Structure 1
Amino acid sequence: MGEPAVVVQLPVKRPVRKRRKKPPQNIDGIKYFTENQIKLIRKTVRDKANLDHAKANVTGIREWMAIDLITSTGLRVAEASDLCCGDIRCGYGQSEIYVRDGKGGKARTVQIPASLKKHLSHFLKWKEERGEGVSYDDHLFIGQRGPWTTQAVQQLVKKHLKVLGLYESGKSVHALRHSYAVQLYRQKRDLRAVQKQLGHASIQTTQIYADVTSEDIQDQIKGIW
């Protein structure tokens, strides 16, 4: 008798399950600071800048410029640290910042308020008076070791949050971007405007900011009975 035939079982192909797209989070799923907390952060850093200016110390001046920039535009930390002087468009009839290389390599223009336009104009003049380059490709933020990195911006934000007792894990510089988006949406309830300012590719990403915030609820429940 011959040897029994060997039966080879081929692996059964299982159907590939498609991952369901996650629905947009509500606002409870992101970390952000309240309006009063942002105002406190801004005032604290601005006051420090005024003291440093009186002492001819440059640290506070640069840090206040960075905090004002991020909280007034919602720029990503990498976009803020990569900003060059030529990206500031504060001429007559202009109030905007050009982001050369945003997320996904996409460029965009971000509108800025008059207060930030004035601050940026003064900061550029201050840089020039110090002998720092202000040409098109010169970085806006320069330290002793050269242009600021994303880590440098993250650390300065973390430092001030710790001083104010507002720091917690996962709630730092990116939370400032979320805070800007929340407040911008509350102004006019215009999701498209928020999407353009933040540089979101899809309106679905922006949708999280359309949820009701705890501040909105507090305003509505005041004196309910």
Structure 2
Amino acid sequence: MDSWKSYIKNYQNYLKIERSLSANTITNYSFDLQRLCEFLSEKGISETPLSISDETVKQFIYEVSKQVNARSQARMISGLKSFFNYLLFEDYRKTNPMDLLEAPRLGRKLPDTLSIEDIDRLIGAIKNENDDTNDYKLSVRNKSMLETLYGCGLRVSELVTLRLSDLFFDEGFIRVTGKGNKQRFVPIGPHTQKYIEIFLTERNKLSIPKGHEDTLYLNRRGKGLTRAMVFTIIKNLAVEINLQKSISPHTFRHSFATHLLENGADLRSIQLMLGHESITTTEIYVHLDRKHLTQVMRNFHPRR
């Protein structure tokens, strides 16, 4: 399997340097390849990345399809196609063994959203929690984080990497580093800005280790938060208010986009704020509220 390790390592460097993909995306792509390597080892198949046949790949996908859902299967097929396309691009192979494989058809999954009342209840459930060692109010940090997730429509990875130097309050914007390290400026309203400013007074109480001075949201030890920690905070709040929905940080982002659309914002503006590369991705929000679409028809169609 040494040849696989070598080509996978080169592929990871390609994804990082030439395609500027995030560490999370590279990890996901690598996991799929590792799974393929384990399959080959279990079956005693000695094919290399340069010699593996479409029949072997089909057999692998068939085995995997028994264990994962259609969405995971489609993602895996996409990841493997990307790897073999890289080998084609570098002239290591002449054909892609994935070419004749089609991903399963997926229905477009509409994202869960929260009502404005639900968001208020979640934020209202944050308890006044202090860290005894330095009186750092975690409640103030958590309220600021949720207000920023909802107020600016951020991904959780964008939230935890937000820096003090990304805050341009005088201009009414924050600078966000999204997928592929692409930066965009997102408007920030006075309400969200107020909660960040309140939090900054708490942040000043922390002893911040070197390397974290510019990170906005910190844990009680003065280091950056993890994505998992933000997930846990939100899950616990949902339990606290007995919210009968499975939610995550991304639910706040979906709610941001849906509420903007319902209140008359145009798709192009929402696309820019969310940092979607294609407006097709943003169009999913059009399907969320039929009542809103009916109202648009009544208000704007010439034969209403």
TM-score normalised over the length of structure 2: 0.56
**How big is the shift at 1:123?**
2.3
Q: How far apart are the structure 1 equivalents of 2:98 and 2:257?
A: 41
Pick aligned residue for 1:158 from 222, 235, 251: 235
Which residues of 2 match residues 102-121 of structure 1 at below 5 A? 102-121=178-197
Which amino acid letter does the alignment assign opposite residue 150 of structure 2? T
3-state secondary structure, aligned to 1:143: coil
Q: How far apart are the structure 2 equivalents of 1:24 and 1:112?
A: 34
Q: Which residue number in structure 2 is paired with residue 34 of structure 1? A: 115
Which amino acid letter does the alignment assign opposite residue 173 of structure 1? P
Q: Is the 8 A contact 2:125 2:240 kept in 1?
A: no
Q: Which residue number in structure 2 is paired with residue 75 of structure 1? A: 154
Residues 104-154 of structure 1: CA deviation (Å, up to 9, x unaligned): 221111111111122222322342355659x99511111134211111111
3-state secondary structure, aligned to 1:147: coil
Distance 1:74 1:167, change over 3 A: farther
Which amino acid letter does the alignment assign opposite residue 95 of structure 1? G
Unaligned runs of 5+ in 2: 1-53, 55-94, 297-304
**How big is the shift at 1:98?**
0.5
**How big is the shift at 1:219?**
8.9
Q: Which residue number in structure 1 is paired with residue 68 of structure 2? A: none
Pick aligned residue for 1:44 from 93, 118, 125: 125
Residues 160-219 of structure 1: CA deviation (Å, up to 9, x unaligned): 0111122644x3221111111100111214101110111000000000111252664899
Q: How far apart are the structure 2 equivalents of 1:132 and 1:118?
A: 23
Q: Which residue number in structure 1 is paired with residue 278 of structure 2? A: 202
RMSD: 3.6
Q: Which moved more, 1:35-44 or 1:72-81?
A: 35-44
Which residues of 2 match residues 55-94 of structure 1 at below 5 A? 56=135, 58-91=137-170, 94=171
Residues 42-62 of structure 1: CA deviation (Å, up to 9, x unaligned): 3333xx3xx448x95511111
Which amino acid letter does the alignment assign opposite residue 110 of structure 2? G
Distance 1:142 1:207, change over 3 A: same
Q: Which residue number in structure 2 is paired with residue 173 of structure 1? A: 249
| Residues 1:183 and 2:262 aligned together | no
Which amino acid letter does the alignment assign opposite residue 179 of structure 1? S
Q: How far apart are the structure 2 equivalents of 1:187 and 1:22?
A: 33
Unaligned runs of 5+ in 1: 1-10, 221-225
Q: Is the 8 A contact 1:70 1:177 kept in 2?
A: yes
3-state secondary structure, aligned to 1:125: helix
Q: How many residues align?
A: 198
Residues 27-50 of structure 1: CA deviation (Å, up to 9, x unaligned): x621111232122223333xx3xx
TM-score normalised over the length of structure 1: 0.73
Which amino acid letter does the alignment assign opposite residue 160 of structure 1? L
Distance 1:219 1:38, change over 3 A: farther
Q: Which residue number in structure 1 is paired with residue 174 of structure 2? A: 97
Distance 1:136 1:190, change over 3 A: farther
